Structure 1
Amino acid sequence: MIGTLQCVVLDCPEPKALAEFYRGLLGGEVDRPGQQWSLDADWSTLHHGGGVLAFQRVAEYSAPAWPDPAKPQQFHLDIAVEDLGVGKAEVLRSGGSVLDDSYERWAVFADPVGHPFCLVQA
């Protein structure tokens, strides 16, 4: 094990509006401040119980069309790690690949079949 699930991130056109929608369904607190992320017009969170849903603005968002594989579901996992370098090495050893490691506190990877996920420095 290299980390713990920090949150599930959903792509969307309006992060705050979607966070409020899910708050209406699940309860919880929208945009609780935390060191893990910035809260702004492009990012919103919903804290519910022990979990977090996050919502990320995507320019020119195109909604999925269930069950059309040409427009698949859109989300990614954020995984908190103590050491980003150790986490990166383990992802690569396990068959994942680097998509973007140009950030200071996180890196974007793909699993062996191409699903993106992030490792985030805890």
Structure 2
Amino acid sequence: MAIATMGVTVLDCRSPRELAEFYAAVLDWRIEGEGEWVELIGPHGRQLAFQESPGHRPPQWPGTEMPQQFHLDLDVPREELDAAEAEVLRLGATVLEGDDDGRRDWRVYADPAGHPFCLCVH
């Protein structure tokens, strides 16, 4: 028997609303809340939340001095990977690591608050 069930995944950041807007545009999820805690509500009850942390220091990729601690893998059909990359860059992401000229099935980015995430071929 499980001790608990999985709740919401929470990302610390300086500006919860701004980061929620970035992921809402990427995932097409609904934003709820204002201020220090903002949530995204997705299909099947999925949730992603953003919590204000004024002293937040983003991780550095790659490296261990300021490790990533966690990252999100977002699935994209192979034929849409370039378009998905263009869109996340337009929304404020930055490229941390490419797909090694197509030899890997993922690309690594930082969201506007500096959290690493990957677009992965699904």
What TM-score do you get using the length of structure 2 for normalisation?
A: 0.51
Length, aligned pairs only: 68
Q: Residue 14 in 1 paired to residue 30 in 2?
A: no
Runs of 4+ in 1 over 4 A off after TM superposition: none
Q: Are 1:44 and 1:55, in contact at CA under 8 Å, matched by a contact in 2?
A: yes
Alignment of 1:70-81 (within 5 A): 70-74=65-69
1:8 positional shift: 0.6
Q: Are 1:12 and 1:56, in contact at CA under 8 Å, matched by a contact in 2?
A: yes
| SS of residue paired to 2:7 | strand
In 2, Cα distance between equivalents of 1:18 and 1:72: 20
| SS of residue paired to 1:44 | strand
1:59 positional shift: 1.6
Counterpart in 2 of 1:119? none
Identity fraction in percent = 38
What TM-score do you get using the length of structure 1 for normalisation?
A: 0.51
Aligned with 2:38 (options 36, 40, 44): 44
Closer/same/farther in 2, CA of residues 18 and 7 from structure 1, 3 Å limit: same
In 2, Cα distance between equivalents of 1:58 and 1:74: 16
Q: Are 1:10 and 1:74, in contact at CA under 8 Å, matched by a contact in 2?
A: no
In 1, Cα distance between equivalents of 2:36 and 2:63: 27
CA-atom RMSD, angstroms? 1.5
In 2, Cα distance between equivalents of 1:74 and 1:30: 25
- Comparing both structures, which one devotes a greater share of its residues to strand? 1
In 2, Cα distance between equivalents of 1:2 and 1:18: 31
Unaligned ranges ≥5, structure 2: 71-122
Q: Whose RCO is larger (CA < 8 A, sep 6+)?
A: 1
- Comparing both structures, which one devotes a greater share of its residues to helix? 2
